[in-house]
Chains A and B, each alone.
Chain A
Amino acid sequence: MLRIRNLVAGYDKLKVLKGITLHVKEGEIVTIIGANGAGKTTLLNTVASLVKPTSGEIKLNGRDVTGLSPDRIVRGGCALVPEGRQLFPAMTVRENLTLGGYTLFKRKRRNGLQLRLNNIYELFPILKERGSQLAGTLSGGEQQMVAIGRALMAETDLLMMDEPSMGLAPIIVKNIFQVVQSLRDQGKTILIVEQNAKAVLEIADRGYVMETGSLVMEGRAGELLNNNDVKRAYLGRDYKEFTDR
């Protein structure tokens, strides 16, 4: 579904991604875990074409999409749930969601919008209730649902999520990840970038570990969950057990 080869990207002179090679197969939940500043967000933004790569190749469904405009990436089958939700707080929930279907406007198939909206409401019934409420007045968890719903409106095969657990209570994180799992079961392919390694590895199929712009490990989620390096660095578990004597 997604195949990235030797991707190098950054901002001005700062090189953030130092040659990333990874793949996501259809129907998988793949996660990239790593500390703050490792380059995880830059990676997703580069795939979404919000950041232009310096070199390397991004293939979506076998097509080279490197450097295409962001809307073409969405039409090519890849939508992004950005870090920190990025909703329009002064617009209603319904308006925020509808914006996610912008690819339909160009195709003049607006009647399809309502159908998609209904699907989102089915997935998140609470959003139907909140439909005419301003997005900025929602709780963090509800806002995250809107952000996911907005990306789903584009009906892409691949969904990229940037730190969906950020700032949410553990119980809400659990709910969000349950939704992610059910999306996968419905046939979506999902790439999640997360700092909350433990929660995400429990629902993911595979994972990559990112350190300062490079991937240093690839493996099944269960393997990474049990890996001592991962435990020390990202799960914050048993700090004492791991400190050097």
Chain B
Amino acid sequence: MIYSKEFETMEHEDLESLQIERLQATLNRVYRNVSFYRNLYDETGLEISEIKSIDDMAKLPFTTKDDLRKSYPYEAFAVPLRDIVRIHSTSGTSGNPVVVGYTGNDLKIWSELVARVLSAAGMTGHDLIQIAFNYSQSTGGLGFHYGVEQIGASVIPASGEEVLKQIQIMKDYRTSALVSTPGYALHIVSVPEENNMDPQELNLSVGLFGSEPWSEKMRIEIESRLKIKAFDNYGLSEVMGPGVAFECEERDGLHVNEDHFIVEVIDPETLQILPPGEKGELVFTTITKQGFPLIRYRTGDISSIVEESCSCGRTTRRIKRISGRTDDMMIVDGNNLFPSQIEALLFEIEGVEPHFKIILDRDEGLDIIELKVEVTPDFIAFDEIRKVQKFQNKIRQLLINRLGLHAKITLTEPNSLGRTDGGKIKRVLDLRFF
């Protein structure tokens, strides 16, 4: 079902004029209220009144995650703090998290945009929708929660409950739709199999998955094992959270909510805008957000724009499934992780070199992370097992405390990790998608 027909099936010309109106209003607001943007535009000598069409956007400088981190915590808000009614933060980033504030109106719009996502996946007011995203800090849990209420379905905020409990709820409450990471969906199926439970006993018919990249192969696996129809969706906390782009029943690319976000794809090296169909970095501009507007935000996610019309009736353009990252960011169980975070941590520990290798694998839907670390040449405890274990535990605990990361720690001899020509170690080995 198309939740918001007026906007989702708008004529292209009308949509474009709505976009330029809203973009200009947003630019006027950020110029007045956000010192970061005002300084940026003043430094580059840009008059925001020069932005007269969507094509003129190319004149606007980009915003990066680094810019937002420097604005920690509230510098990039465009309204006074007393107008903010909710604050989310991005998960596990190096340095400061990005803090995102929402006004009451932002939340209202957000709920409607998520309602579009749910409706496009066929969910209605009759559904019982279980949300297995952690509600803490990040946007997945509460973002979907409000959307479910918006369409009048029943929301089951299962959040981070452990998997057996999730399955129990699913069975007893007759959950009809699951919202989670795709990895978690696979994890859920693997468990009943262990316990001689039949996933067919469940009442599930739809799954809405996101917040980590997944493949068509994985979709087929989830669908056949859980006996559901699986949909992809895309969002990121900085831009809003879930509700940015979503699959319709055609499941051939993700429709962008273009009446609220302007999408561009750029070459991450030259920063030139790429034509539809060409792969590059996704860039988003928010045109209705009041609390935390973003102008040309570089997401680091790789995709391309699909311009051909979709047979579902929506006129909004689509983006292809996210196929990777422009940087070395990893997504582990739905949380973002940069190798630089681990490096920074290792610098603090006496006895190891900041030379390491991360091996990511997946077991029954859950991510497994192993960290191989080179010890310093003067590390002499190798012959004392208890000392080694104690040392490993110390690193392990530090990773949990600081990054929320449960990793297996392996200590290796100095210079034992393979280096490439430049003397650098290829730091990440991702086996999850094989």
A contacts, CB < 8 Å to B: 3, 5-6, 8, 18-19, 21-23, 208, 211, 214-219, 223, 226-229, 242, 244
Contacts and interface: CB of A to CB of B under 8 A. Distances in A.
Most chain B CB inside 10 Å of its own CB: which residue of A3, A21, A22: A21
A159 B106 CA distance: 32
Contact of A218 (B21, B79, B108): B21
Contacts of A18: 49
A226 B104 contact: yes
Interface in B392-420: none
A47 to B, nearest CB: 16
A162 B79 CA distance: 30
Given A21-B20, A218-B22, 19 more contacts: A3-B17, A18-B49, A19-B52, A21-B17, A21-B24, A22-B21, A23-B21, A214-B24, A214-B28, A216-B25, A216-B32, A217-B290, A218-B21, A219-B288, A226-B104, A228-B82, A229-B83, A229-B290, A242-B82
Given A3-B17, A21-B20, A223 B108 contact: yes
The 6 closest A-B pairs by CB, nearest first: A19-B49, A228-B83, A6-B52, A214-B28, A216-B28, A21-B21
B309 to A, nearest CB: 23
Interface in B51-92: 52, 79-80, 82-83
Contacts of B290: 217, 227, 229
A226 B14 CA distance: 26
A23 B17 contact: yes
A19 B24 contact: yes
16 contacts: A5-B52, A19-B49, A21-B17, A21-B20, A21-B24, A22-B21, A211-B28, A214-B28, A214-B49, A215-B25, A216-B29, A217-B290, A219-B105, A226-B104, A228-B103, A228-B104
Nearest to B108: A223
A63 B52 CA distance: 19
Contacts of B32: 211, 216
Interface residue range, chain B: 20 to 34
- What is the interface of chain B mostly: helix, strand, loop, or mixed? helix
B28 A215 contact: yes
A5 B24 CA distance: 11
B37 to A, nearest CB: 14
Nearest to B109: A223
Contacts of B82: 228, 242
Given A21-B17, A227-B290, A228-B103, A217 B29 contact: yes
B18 interface: yes
Most chain B CB inside 10 Å of its own CB: which residue of A5, A23, A214, A219: A214
B110 to A, nearest CB: 13
A209 B181 CA distance: 40
A6 B48 CA distance: 11
A217 B49 CA distance: 15
Nearest to A25: B14
Most chain A CB inside 10 Å of its own CB: which residue of B25, B103, B290: B25
Contacts of A226: 104-105
Contact of A5 (B17, B18, B104, B288): B17
